[in-house]
Chains A and B, each alone.
Chain A
Amino acid sequence: MAINVTRRQFFKLGGAGLASSSLAMMGFAPEPAEASIRQFKLTHAKETRNTCTYCSVGCGILIYSKGDGAKNVEQNVFHIEGDPDHPVSRGSLCPKGAGLLDFVHSKGRLEYPQVRAAGSDEWQRVTWDDALNRIARHIKDDRDANFVQRNAQGQTVNHWTTTGFLAASGSSNEAGYITHKVVRNLGMVAFDNQARV
């Protein structure tokens, strides 16, 4: 680029720059319109109430997703915080609950039933129907084979010790009660309805 500046022009430009910068330093600078520093990010986000999935405390959470729920919008969860109206923790969350957003979007999150057949080292995706049928089949077969009606002394025990049951930590009291009834009715002994952490 050719710059045609005579010495006189150079001094004029330099003088103008010096004068304007010293004016600015002395406070005669035009003020830019003050834009907002950070917009509030939840305005009009869709708010959904839910229960934290982690532990047996069962804190209430508010899940915020993009869009207002219109049919052309693919909802995407972008913020989760405590539900102040929920009686359990009244809005507060532990570090795991406070970080639920990354749990939702985790690459390692299990999103559908998978089966690893005996002897295989690979997980295969199956439908919910297949998974439930398969579980029911295994339960029935194992219970038929190993159910113990009477112990060695001839006392009635009606227990089934070869299968255990782990249920959800986020269950309500009612769901926990029903789960307990179902599992005990089968005679199952090894059972935990809370994934205590």
Chain B
Amino acid sequence: MATVDQTGIPNRLTRPRQAASDVPEWISGIPVSWWVVGVALLFMPVVAGNFVLFQIFGWAFILGMIALSLMFLGGYGGMVSLAQMSIAGLAGYMVAILGPSGVQTISLFWPWWLYIPVAILIAALFATLIGALAVRTEGIYTIMITLAIAAAFFYFTRQNYTIFNGYTGFANVVPPELFGINWRRPIPFYYLTLACAAISFAVVVYVSRSPFGLALQGVRDNPRRMAALGFNVFAHRVFAYTFASIIAAVAGILMVWQNAQIAPGTAGLPAVIDILVIAIVGGLKRPIGPFIGAFIYVILRTYAPDILLALNLPGDRFKLLIGLGFLAVVYWSPDGVLGLWEKWRSHRQTRGDPLTGQGGKS
């Protein structure tokens, strides 16, 4: 993990600016393939059905954002936090508690412009506390302490009835009807999640080359040197938790709207582990990795039972398929699917026939 994000975008902050061009460097530097993916996503509703938009893409964007918050901490900060799902869950709970839900006795029915920022703020505070605890540890101990917090959050929400409504949780948690649009309908929801995911992604890419992001990567590679350059390593790490939590919190709010309900299981241990699997399968090195991982996960989650049934195997064994996929990725490429892709590409570049571009096998 000693390398810095080189997204393939030549947006290194020091590259000389192109003269006589009004297009900012960061726009002109985006490769063509990204524009293609962007346009394809933008026009997806033309070809895709409601189920695909809402259940596949919507869900993948949400999980991708939560995994992105893990990628930011893990990839740039060298801190693997298992509490990101709990942070998302807390934001979701806050929306249900402060805003409208089917549980009239608990929900406060605040207006949306109040409960959304407050929910994000509370989640960010929670994450800052987690960070302050977790950054005192390293490696496996960070994982353990954040896992412990995630487990505690799950059991607390399940046993607390006065605030979190215990085992049942909250149902009928719906988004506000802003601009007269029902945001839970597939096409609006698709664009809502797409916008949130794209903004989170762009912000992470941008921040990774800002002083804060560069310093975070410096702290990851060499905390001692960073302190000897005048950086407060502890504060930098804690703030990374705060920053990442905002992405997770937004995703948590979208998640509760998508399901229209939230219960302890939403942020239960299997969900917590899923986020780690998604981030690792996609690749922790780059911000696009978590979204690739989330997409693969959602596809498997949705279609694995059909595949298994087609093979005359019991359909409820879909987790076996996900587990095997996870094993395969980790075994062949510790950098996830992105790492596989890079290997394949560099293989082609070095071994491929220079005339035809074909081949790749020596």
Query: Does A pair with B?
Result: no
B contacts, CB < 8 Å to A: none
